[in-house]
């Protein structure tokens, strides 16, 4: 009788171990930078940003992990995408309704923000300036608060305006957005 049960117990143990390893491999393959979505709405105008949310994890971010003076996907994994359902103004520049890839070029005190029309990009590896729809410079600010996860947020709408904030580590960039009044 013991001979029959011992192989059965051994088979159950191996099966359990195999299932545990499969579960662990699923965890290992999970994204280190999860997908995040930020959105705001004013009247019929809806803005949505979909981006990969990298973590600081003790690393030096701007000027090191994200080099100064180089095009950055403004997040992780797939390039960040901004969708606008009606025309808006971004930092005083007209942005027509549509979906754009959001790139940036961080510098210590100022960033270049780029809306690019080529969608479906992975990172900024194949960034092509000829697809740029809009570029503008905006100051960056030092923050006393350390932000662990790269985050894009919209402030509460005041009148016909909101602020799209990019924050990571101790850097913050605030981009003013104005809803075009005929769309409100």
Give yes or no for residue 25 having a pLDDT over 60.
Answer: no
More confident residue, 137 or 11: 137
pLDDT for the residue 143: 94
Cα dihedral 55, 126, 68, 113 sign: negative
Domain tally, the chain: 2
Instruction: Give yes or no: residues 44 and 24 share one domain.
Output: no
Rounded (5°) CA angle 76-118-129: 90
Q: Are residues 102 and 116 in the same domain?
A: yes
- Alpha carbon 57 to its chain centroid, in Å, reads 16
Predicted pLDDT of residue 183:
61
pTM of the model: 0.81
Helix and strand element counts for the chain (H, E)? 1, 9
Same domain, 105 and 165: yes
- What is d(CA 73, CA 16) in angstroms, rounded to the nearest whole number? 42
| 72 shares a domain with 4 | no
Is residue 68 over pLDDT 50?
Answer: yes
Residues 14, 39, single domain; the answer is no
Residue 38 sits in the same domain as residue 23: no
3-state secondary structure of 70: coil
Which residue segment(s) compose the domain that 17 sits in? 1-30
């Amino acid at each position: 009788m013991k001979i029959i049960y011992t192989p059965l117990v051994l088979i159950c143990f191996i099966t359990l171990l195999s299932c545990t390893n499969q579960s662990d491999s699923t965890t290992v393959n999970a994204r280190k930078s999860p997908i995040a979505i930020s959105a705001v709405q004013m009247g019929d105008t809806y803005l949505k940003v979909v981006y990969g949310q990298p973590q600081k994890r003790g690393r030096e971010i701007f000027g090191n992990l994200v080099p100064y003076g180089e095009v950055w996907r403004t997040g992780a994994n797939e390039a960040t995408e901004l969708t606008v359902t009606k025309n808006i103004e971004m930092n005083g520049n007209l942005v027509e309704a549509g979906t754009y890839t959001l790139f940036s070029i961080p510098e210590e005190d100022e960033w270049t923000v780029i809306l690019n029309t080529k969608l479906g990009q992975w990172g900024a590896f194949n960034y092509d300036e000829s697809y740029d729809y809009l570029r503008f410079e905006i100051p960056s600010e030092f923050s006393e608060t350390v932000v662990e996860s790269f985050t894009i947020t919209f402030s509460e709408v005041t009148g016909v305006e909101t602020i799209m904030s990019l924050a990571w580590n101790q850097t913050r960039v605030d981009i003013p957005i104005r809803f075009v009044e005929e769309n409100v």
